């Protein structure tokens, strides 16, 4: 079984959990991953797909910076990434390929090897539905037009037509212009956060989140000492960059102080930057912290609304304040609010101490619902469900 993923930590950790679960069930598993994701890959047969998504994040969110990054950095990196995925598949010769949507060459090489392939949607943005629009395309429910929004998502691969054509040349035999559809689609999403649309095909599975059951410890005595010192907020924006990371950090720390709370600040790829003036005893600063051991002990979490973080906070049973930057994050921020797990999301450009003060003042009103949801999410067995689906395809 070959697993292929791309993206940031939130895209890699679920695949790592699936790799460990599949190996525990007796399968031979290899995991292809991007470089420097920050995910724990211990005990996994992991290979590099020769791409570092952290270096591809445009410095700033302007259209000009994004266009420059696409031409100068992203295209060459994707060419290498898609080709490496093909080479690793041909070398490993798996009986099944499970892949992230970013790995556009995965269906091609699966077809060339004559093995089934399974798509993993970290966000419900590929399989169309009338229930809601594609999360990265529209924030408004368009009713009968919702299905049309998925066309834009599914045509995104056209941006890398040349890079995909280069990957095709590595195949042992010519491939068809259009690959076969996935034998199954897995969404490692909790049904507590998203109800399965009735119009999804039977081959599409909302499995529950993928997480290592024993991934809840850490070996940082300084962090442990800080956590034990009293109430604290978690703040982190994962792989997000752009805007004013110092201003965000200052607003969060000063707002936390108004309610007598300390802060664990995860600076990530640059979404937060705590200045020296605010690196005081009531603030713990790290590039990243283990969600499994930190979040359940936090009072609340302030985060960007990435799918992985939304699930980690929900599992921890604490309220969220979502500060979405882009893509699917407004979708998850609205889900958090609709489900009563936190206040309305605060767009990153509108994040101020005043708005944070108002949101933090309401945290207790969300706590009971968050605790109930956390218990339900923790009872899910998403990995076991997914392994059963995968095993049904290779028997």
For residue 243, being part of any structural domain is answered with: yes
What does residue 77 show for φ and ψ, rounded to 5 degrees?
Answer: -65, -40
- Integer Cα distance of 352 and 248 in angstroms: 8
User: CA torsion sign, 203 to 308 to 59 to 52?
Assistant: negative
Q: Crossing angle, helix 9-24 and helix 307-316, to 10 degrees?
A: 70
Please state the separation of Cα 16 from the chain's center in Å.
13
- Which structural domain, as residue segments, surrounds residue 112? 2-209+380-394
193 plus 283 within the same structural domain: no
- Integer Cα distance of 277 and 176 in angstroms: 60
For residue 271, being part of any structural domain is answered with: yes
189 plus 248 within the same structural domain: no
259-294 pLDDT per residue, tens: 999 999 999 888 899 999 999 999 999 999 999 999
Pairing of strands 184-187, 204-206: parallel
316 plus 346 within the same structural domain: yes
271 plus 187 within the same structural domain: no
232 plus 350 within the same structural domain: yes
The tally of domains found in the chain comes to: 2
Both tokens assigned to 167: 């990957």
Q: How many CB atoms lie within 10 A of CB 395?
A: 4
197 plus 311 within the same structural domain: no
For residue 216, being part of any structural domain is answered with: no
148 plus 287 within the same structural domain: no
- Integer Cα distance of 289 and 266 in angstroms: 6
Pairing of strands 184-187, 117-120: parallel
183 plus 236 within the same structural domain: no
Residue holding tokens 């970290």?
A: 122
For residue 262, being part of any structural domain is answered with: yes
Do 12 and 42 form a contact (C-beta atoms < 8 A)?
no
184-204 pLDDT per residue, tens: 999 999 999 999 999 999 999
Start-to-end CA distance of the chain, whole Å, equals 13
For residue 316, being part of any structural domain is answered with: yes
Q: What CATH code is carried by the domain that includes residue 15? A: 3.40.50.2000
Residues forming a β-bridge with 206: 187
* 184 sits in which H/E element: strand 184-187
For residue 341, being part of any structural domain is answered with: yes
Residue holding tokens 């720390």?
A: 253
For residue 215, being part of any structural domain is answered with: no
- Integer Cα distance of 391 and 59 in angstroms: 43
74-109 pLDDT per residue, tens: 899 999 999 999 999 999 999 999 999 999 999 999
295 plus 148 within the same structural domain: no
231 plus 189 within the same structural domain: no
- Integer Cα distance of 136 and 330 in angstroms: 8
Task: Answer whether 0.85 is exceeded by the pTM.
Answer: yes
303 plus 388 within the same structural domain: no
305 plus 387 within the same structural domain: no
Residues of the chain falling short of pLDDT 50: none
């Amino acid at each position: 079984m070959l697993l292929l993923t791309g993206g940031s930590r939130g895209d890699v950790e679920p695949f790592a959990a699936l790799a460990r679960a599949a190996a525990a069930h007796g399968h031979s598993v290899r995991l292809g991953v991007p470089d420097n994701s920050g995910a724990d890959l211990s005990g996994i047969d992991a290979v590099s797909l020769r791409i570092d998504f952290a270096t591809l994040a445009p410095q700033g969110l302007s259209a000009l910076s994004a266009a420059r990054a696409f031409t100068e950095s992203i295209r060459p990196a994707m060419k290498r990434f898609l080709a490496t995925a093909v080479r690793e598949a041909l070398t490993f010769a798996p009986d099944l390929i499970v892949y992230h949507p970013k790995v556009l060459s995965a269906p091609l090489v699966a077809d060339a090897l004559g093995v089934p392939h399974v798509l993993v949607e970290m966000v419900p943005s590929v399989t169309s539905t009338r229930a809601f629009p594609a999360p990265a395309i529209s924030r408004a429910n368009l009713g009968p037009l919702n299905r049309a929004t998925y066309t834009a998502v599914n045509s995104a691969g056209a941006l890398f037509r040349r890079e995909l054509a280069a990957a095709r040349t590595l195949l042992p035999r010519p491939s068809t212009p259009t690959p076969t559809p996935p034998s199954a689609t897995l969404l490692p999403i909790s049904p507590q956060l998203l109800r399965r649309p009735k119009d999804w095909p039977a081959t599409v599975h909302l499995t529950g989140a993928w997480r290592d059951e024993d991934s809840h410890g850490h070996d940082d005595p300084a962090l442990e000492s800080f956590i034990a010192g009293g109430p604290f907020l978690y703040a982190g924006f994962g792989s997000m960059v752009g805007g004013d990371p110092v201003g965000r950090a200052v607003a969060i720390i000063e707002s936390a102080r108004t309610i007598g709370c300390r802060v664990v600040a995860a600076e990530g790829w640059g979404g937060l930057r705590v200045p020296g003036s605010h690196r005081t005893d009531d603030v713990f600063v790290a590039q990243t912290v283990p969600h499994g051991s930190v979040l359940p002990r936090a009072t609340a979490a302030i985060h960007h609304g990435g799918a992985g973080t939304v699930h980690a906070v929900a599992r921890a049973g604490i309220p969220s304040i979502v500060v979405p930057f882009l893509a699917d994050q407004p979708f998850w921020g609205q889900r958090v609010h609709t489900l009563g797990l936190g206040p309305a999301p605060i767009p990153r450009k509108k994040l101020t101490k005043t708005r944070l003060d108002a949101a933090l003042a309401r945290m207790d009103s969300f706590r009971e619902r968050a605790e109930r949801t956390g218990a339900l999410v923790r009872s899910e067995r998403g990995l076991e469900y997914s392994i059963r689906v995968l095993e049904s395809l290779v028997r």
